[in-house]
Amino acid sequence: MKVITIGRQFGSGGRELGKKLAKALGWAYYDREIISAIAQKTSLPEDYVEELLDKRPTAIYPVTSGSTFHMTVDPHFNLSNQIYAEQSNLIKTLADKGNCVIVGRCADHILRDRKPFRIFVYADIERRVARCMAHLRPDEEGMTEKAMKKKILAEDKARRRYYRFFTGSDWGELASYDLCLNTAVGTVEDWVAFLVKAVETV
C-alpha cells in the first residue's frame, strides 16, 4: 500500500492539493472523514472532536454519552489523549485499506513505520492571507486582512503546539518531510501534475 501524508500551513492550499492529488491518482482521500468517524464512534459532536484534535480546547465538554471514554484526574487532558489514540488507530486502519492521501492529523508520525511519502505545504503569509480572504466562510464575512493574518498565525501556532505535544517532533521541520512545496510558486494544478509523476518513483 502507498500512503501520502500532507502537513500544511494554514491557508497554504494543502487541503485542496490533497483532494486534487487523490482524485488524479484514483486514491482514497482522508481529512474531515477522520473527524466524522471518531465523532460517530465516541458520540461526541464533530466540532468538538475537531477542536480537540486541532487545538485542545480550554472548556471541558460534559460527556454524558455511552462512550467507552473514562474521565480521571484531569478529564479534559485525558479525553484529548484518548481521542488522539482513537485517531491513530483509525488512520492505521485506513492506511491498511489501500493507497490513500491523508491530510494533517499527525499522519506522517502515526504511520512512520510504514514509510509514507511525507509532504509539507507552505507559502508566504501574504499569499496565505490573500487565499483565505478569497475563500471567506459565512462566519468570516467582514473580516479584515489584519484580522485574517492574526488568525492564520494563531492556527499555525496551535498546529505546532499540538504536533509537538503528541509526536515530540517539530511541525514544519524540513528534515521531517520528503518534499516541501511552496504553493506561492505555480498553481495547485501544476503541483498535482508534478506529484503524480513523482509518486511513480516512490
User: Which strands, in side-by-side order, build the sheet including 3-8?
Assistant: 28-30, 100-103, 3-8, 117-122, 179-182
Average model confidence (pLDDT) across the chain: 86
Predicted confidence band of residue 71 (pLDDT cuts 50, 70, 90): very low
- pLDDT at 58 exceeding the cut of 80: no
Of 55-59, 122-126, 132-136, least confident by mean pLDDT is: 55-59
Average pLDDT estimate for 93-101: 95
43: left (phi over 0), alpha (psi -120 to 50) or beta: left
| Global confidence as pTM | 0.84
What per-residue confidence (pLDDT) applies to 142?
87
Q: Over pLDDT 90: what percentage of the chain? A: 58
The angle formed by the CA atoms of residues 184, 11 and 198, to the nearest 5 degrees, is 55
Average pLDDT estimate for 159-182: 90
What per-residue confidence (pLDDT) applies to 92?
95
What per-residue confidence (pLDDT) applies to 67?
44
Among 189, 159, 152, residue whose Cα is nearest residue 173: 159
- pLDDT at 57 exceeding the cut of 90: no
Of 11-20, 77-86, 135-144, 166-175, least confident by mean pLDDT is: 77-86
**Domain boundaries of the chain, sorted by first residue:** 3-186
- pLDDT at 55 exceeding the cut of 70: no
Average pLDDT estimate for 83-110: 93
- pLDDT at 33 exceeding the cut of 60: yes
Count of all residues that appear for the chain in the document: 202
Residue ranges in 26-74 assigned as alpha helix (H): 32-42, 46-54
Write the DSSP symbol of residue 65.
S
Predicted confidence band of residue 117 (pLDDT cuts 50, 70, 90): very high
Cell of 110: 502515526
pLDDT tens-digit map of 39-52: 888 888 888 888 77
Predicted confidence band of residue 6 (pLDDT cuts 50, 70, 90): very high
The angle formed by the CA atoms of residues 58, 63 and 64, to the nearest 5 degrees, is 155
Indicate the fold that domain 3-186 takes in CATH: Rossmann fold (3.40.50)
- pLDDT at 74 exceeding the cut of 60: no
Cell of 85: 489514540
